[in-house]
């Protein structure tokens, strides 16, 4: 009888363990989201460019940590391959990242960057759209998208995306300069 009771407790403990692990993972995800929300609020309020850059770096660290060790290793190898101009190797590695971790924004963003290096704007835009579907505040993806729009002559759309970027990260100097330049070009063209 004691053996039966112990077995029953063991089974209950084993059945409860995945729920506890799942609850712990959900708690960690909620804490990470809460931390990101706090960092984005700080980023929006920060008026000092250097301090804003440090906050942006902390946000980027949060995004990078979301993938795990396997994703980190694959992305590291992909970056090395891309820097050696072995773009197809980099893409093969990043394809594995996005298959294994479909909600990991940095996997999609890294793949978009390789597509940009290859001047494959349509695939880069598709990956950036995926990044923004997962994390609409991803200022790096917004900047990349605006750059593609600008390079392809879609000035009005680029201006809108740069404005959106600056709503999230007001002190991003590149976006400020690009928006100013595009706005001046548009004004000059009207005159």
pLDDT in tens, 63-80: 998 888 999 999 999 999
Task: Give the pLDDT of residue 33.
Answer: 80
For residue 73, what are the domain limits?
2-190
pLDDT reported for residue 14: 41
Global pTM?
0.81
Q: What is the CATH number of the domain that holds 135?
A: 1.25.40.10
Predicted local distance difference test score (pLDDT) of residue 59? 97
Structure tokens at 162: 């740069």
Q: Which two tokens stand for residue 91?
A: 């893409």
Which residues of the chain are modeled with pLDDT < 50? 4-15, 17-25
CA distances to 35, 115, 145, 174, 176 from 180, rounded to whole Å, are 32, 27, 17, 10, 6
Integer Cα distance of 145 and 124 in angstroms: 8
Counted domains in the chain = 1
């Amino acid at each position: 009888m004691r053996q039966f009771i112990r077995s029953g407790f063991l089974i209950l403990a084993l059945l409860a363990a995945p729920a506890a692990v799942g609850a712990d993972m959900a708690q960690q995800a909620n804490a990470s989201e809460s931390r990101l929300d706090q960092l984005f609020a700080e980023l929006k309020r920060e008026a000092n460019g250097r301090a804003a850059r440090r906050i942006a770096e902390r946000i980027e660290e949060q995004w990078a940590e979301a993938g795990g060790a396997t994703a980190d290793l694959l992305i590291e190898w992909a970056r090395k391959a891309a820097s050696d101009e072995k773009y197809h190797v980099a893409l093969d590695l990043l394809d594995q990242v996005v298959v294994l971790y479909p909600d990991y924004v940095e996997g999609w963003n890294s793949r978009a960057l390789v597509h940009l290096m290859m001047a494959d704007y349509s695939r880069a835009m598709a990956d950036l759209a995926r990044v923004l579907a997962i994390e609409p505040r991803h200022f790096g993806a917004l900047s990349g998208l605006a750059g593609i729009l600008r390079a392809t002559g879609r000035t009005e759309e680029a201006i809108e995306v740069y404005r959106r970027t600056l709503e999230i990260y007001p002190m991003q100097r590149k976006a400020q300069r690009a928006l100013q330049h595009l706005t001046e070009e548009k004004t000059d063209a009207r005159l």
